[in-house]
Amino acid sequence: MDTVPADGLLSASWLLIALPLAGAAVLLLGGRRTDRWGHLLGTGTVVAAFVLALACTLQLDERQVAVDLFTFIDSGSLDVRAGLLFDPLSAVFVLLITGVGALIHVYSIGYMAHDPRRRRFFAYLNLFVAAMLLLVLGDNYVALYVGWEGVGLASYLLIAFWHERPAAATAAKKAFIMNRVGDVGLALAIFVMFAQLGTVTYEGVFGSVGLLAGGTVTAIGLLLLLGACGKSGQFPLQAWLPDAMEGPTPVSALIHAATMVTAGVYLIARSAPIYDLTETARTVVLAVGAVTLLIGAIAGCAYDDIKKVLAYSTVSQIGYMFLAVGLGPVGYAAAIAHLLAHGFFKAGLFLGAGSVMHAMDDQVDMRRFGGLARKLPVTFVTFGLGYLALIGFPFLSGYWTKDAIIEAALDHGGAWGWVLGGVAVLGAGLTAFYMTRLMLMTFFGRARWAPSAPGRPTPHPHESPSVMTSPMVVLAIGSVAAGFLLVQAFPLDEWLTPVFGEPEEAEHVVAPALVGIVVTAVMALGVLAAWLFVGRREVPAVAPERVSVVTRAARKALYADTINESLFMRPGQWLTRALVWVDNRGVDGAVNGMAAALGGSSSRLGRTQTGFVRTYALGMLGGAVLVAGALLAVTAG
């Protein structure tokens, strides 16, 4: 389908980005004057953007609409325009970002009410929304890259929001650096596209990518994948995401669960015409997805920090999405559907976790929770619905969207199909286990509440104010309904047809009904196991030391940090120290030595200023004589 110029309301779709950006600018430049109403302005801009996004989407009618703004960089044969592309794919992302974004802004009004820097928090959140919208609305890879690093900055600022805590500052830096590793891949992919095709627009690249040699296309695919892995916390760049939980919980919900970390899925889905041409790159995407979904699920089983469990769950669920996009045309729509459903239930789960922390004096250790169901009824019910949606309880969101991915994986065919399907089913069982463990440790059993620090009172849990619970209720409704709506009622794959082409009816290796039954059974096993291991017994206040090798590895998230540190960080520090020594002694020393040999000693040369000025004058004189002599010689000769 061809792209048409924007008309009517759609030509104002740049306002989607401009509104939150203006909000951020006013809040940051306005200073303390905006303290009293800053949060309202911040929320207002995102709500307005959501309304505009709804109106734009209704006008879209399955078209692909281009909005040309201005020349960004035009030099030589490179022409990068600031242009937007509003099509069915970007529309669903825009709705997700502004919709969930608006709810989380509302929630943050309550959550950050007592923080002296609340205004700045809203400024950064607005900045994030603007950058994220640019990422999904740009009509070329450079615009995507600008948004891509823009959300990275917002993520950095928000993880380090409580920057007095060294852990938060370090986590923010780690996130930025690991993302930059991925960004190198994305940047190189853009360079290859420009060098080979002379263009970086989606339209131009997709139109002519077929003319390239297979190896080049594969290289582009793999480089894009590297970028996607960095942003989406996928293997081998997954270690930053759990650490990012140092940020305030609304940030975890919006950026590190619902939107930013799914940008990698967007990138690959958007680049579908490239991946369609390279089986190799697709296979690597599949492998990355499968490996990551297991790593995340295994680590999720072992952590006691409620936010880290949810973070590893996010890593794992995005692994499902990567698996789906790696399958090619049959998986794109399934991946996006799971992404949207995940956006609802995971954001809801994080907001619920924030509500629990709010009640428990900002503690996150689930071993000190327990019995909160009765104290926090709204949180319990909304969190519970999100939990059921995530583990794939029949007919809730996760059931529809995850089953679609598992079916598609099995349909991939052959041994590879069985492996992928098996991994996905196993992941579903593990998901049920770690989420049930989380529910049991948090909401059920005996209350194990304890002071957050010596001298603090033991927390007296209370339900959060309605400004916080209302967004949780809305997201819970979404968690229940989104899957059915997206898969059955208004099939997403039909909506996305203009982008991904007609959905094809795959040959089923295993009957869908059977898949549904098996997955549900495995899920039930996971729940049962969690009840047997956690629910039946008393939860120890301190994590047991004597555990199996597997548990120990899971607690270390399969040693990802250890590997990074011993492979990159420590050798890097050693190299830096060695080079500093070399530069001071070697390079500089050689030059100083040369100077000493030529002009006596450098110390004598520079001992006194007057002496030096004489030297200088002498030098100038000598130079002038030299010039005059040479010129005379030349003209005379």
Partner 1 sequence: MNSFPFLLLMIVVPAVGAAVVAALPRGRDLLAKQIALGVSLVVLLLAVLATVAFDTDGDRFQLTSSVSWIDDFGVSFALGVDGIALVMLLLVGVLVPVVIGASWDDEPVGNRSMTVFFAWILLLEAMMVGVFAATDVFLFYVFFEAMLVPMYFLIGSFGGPRRQYAAVKFFLYSLVGGLIMLAAVIGLYVVSANQGEGSFAFEVLNAIDIDPDVQKLLFLGFFVAFAIKAPLVPFHTWLPDAGAEAPVGGAVLLVGVLDKVGTFGFLRYCLPLFPDASRDFAPYVLVLAVAGVLYAALLAMGQSDMKRLVSYTSVAHFGFIALGIFAFTTEAGTGAVLYMVNHGIATGLLFLVVGMLIARGGSRRIADYGGVAAQAPVLAGVFLIAGLASLALPGTNSFVSEFLVLVGSFPTRPVFTILATVGIILAALYVLLMYQRTMHGPVRGLMDGQGLTTPGTGEPTAPAGSSGATSATATATATATATATATATETVTSARWMPDLSRREIAVAAPLVALIIALGVYPQPLIDLIEPAVAATVDDVGGDPGGTVPEIGTNGADTSGAETEAGN
Residues 466-505 that bind partner 1 (CB under 8 A): none
- Tell me how far, at minimum, the Cβ of 177 lies from partner 1, in Å: 6
By CB under 8 A, is residue 511 in contact with partner 1? Answer: no
- By C-beta, is 149 or 365 nearer to partner 1? 149
For residues 240-279, which are near partner 1 according to CB under 8 A?
Answer: none
Q: What are the distances in angstroms from CA 115 to CA 122, 405, 455?
A: 11, 42, 22
| Element (DSSP H or E) covering residue 80 | strand 78-86
Stretch that binds partner 1, among 47-55, 168-176, 247-255, 439-447 (CB under 8 A): 168-176
Those residues whose C-beta lies under 8 Å from the C-beta of residue 611, and which sit 6 or more positions away, are none
d(CA 393, CA 519): 10
Of the candidates 322, 328, 158, the one whose C-alpha atom is nearest the C-alpha of residue 233 is 322
- Complete DSSP assignment for 162-213: TTTSHHHHHHHHHHHHHHHHHHHHHHHHHHHHHHHHS--BHHHHHHHGGGS-
Out of 180, 462, 556, 614, the only residue in the binding site for partner 1 (CB under 8 A) is 180
Give the nearest distance from C-beta 247 to partner 1 in angstroms: 13
* DSSP letter, residue 66: E
Judged by beta carbon, residue 231 or residue 375, the one nearer partner 1 is 231
The tokens describing 182, both together, are 């991925």
Give the total of residues touching partner 1 (CB under 8 A): 84
Q: Buried b vs exposed e over 206-216: b needs ≥16 C-beta within 10 Å? A: beebeebeeeb
Pick from 235, 223, 255: which is nearest to 153 by CA? 255
Nearest approach in angstroms of CB 630 to partner 1 is 5
Please state the φ and ψ torsions of residue 277, each to the nearest 5 degrees. -95, -5
**Cα–Cα–Cα angle for 389, 391, 395, nearest 5°?**
50
Q: In the bound complex, what is the minimum distance in angstroms from residue 6's beta carbon to partner 1?
A: 21
Residues 443 to 472 in contact with partner 1, rule: CB under 8 A: none
CB of 96 to partner 1, least distance (A): 23
Residues 193-222 contacting partner 1, CB under 8 A: 194-199, 208, 211-213, 216
Counting beta carbons within 10 angstroms of the beta carbon of residue 5, is it exposed (0 to 12), middle (13 to 18) or buried (19 or more)?
Answer: exposed
- Report, in Å, the least distance between residue 149 CB and partner 1: 5
Interaction of residue 411 with partner 1, rule CB under 8 A? no
**572-631 residues near partner 1, rule: CB under 8 A:** 572, 575-577, 579-580, 583, 587-588, 591-592, 595, 599, 601-603, 605-609, 612, 616, 619-620, 623, 626-627, 630-631
Nearer to partner 1, 563 or 575 (CB): 575
| CB closer to partner 1, 172 vs 474 | 172
Which residues ranging from 272 to 331 are in contact with partner 1 (CB under 8 A)?
Answer: none
Least distance from partner 1 to the Cβ atom of residue 243, Å? 14
Say how far apart CA 116 and CA 130 lie, in whole Å.
24
Pick one of 3, 170, 452, 470: the residue that binds partner 1 (CB under 8 A): 170
Residue 155, both tokens: 């993520």
Of 91-99, 185-193, 291-299, 319-327, which segment contacts partner 1 by CB under 8 A? 185-193
Residue 42 CB, shortest distance to partner 1, in Å, is 17
Instruction: Choose between 135 and 293: whose C-beta lies nearer to partner 1.
Output: 135
Residue of 165, 127, 162 whose CA lies nearest to 147: 127
Binding string, 39-78, against partner 1, x = CB under 8 A?
A: -------------------------------xxxxxxxxx
Say if CB 131 and CB 38 are below 8 A apart.
no
Pair 126, 42: CB distance under 8 Å: yes
Name the residue with tokens 């930013």. 260
- Mark 124-163 with x for binding to partner 1 (rule: CB under 8 A) and - for no binding: ------------------x--xx-xxx--x--x---x--x
Residue 164 sits in the site that holds partner 1 (CB under 8 A): yes
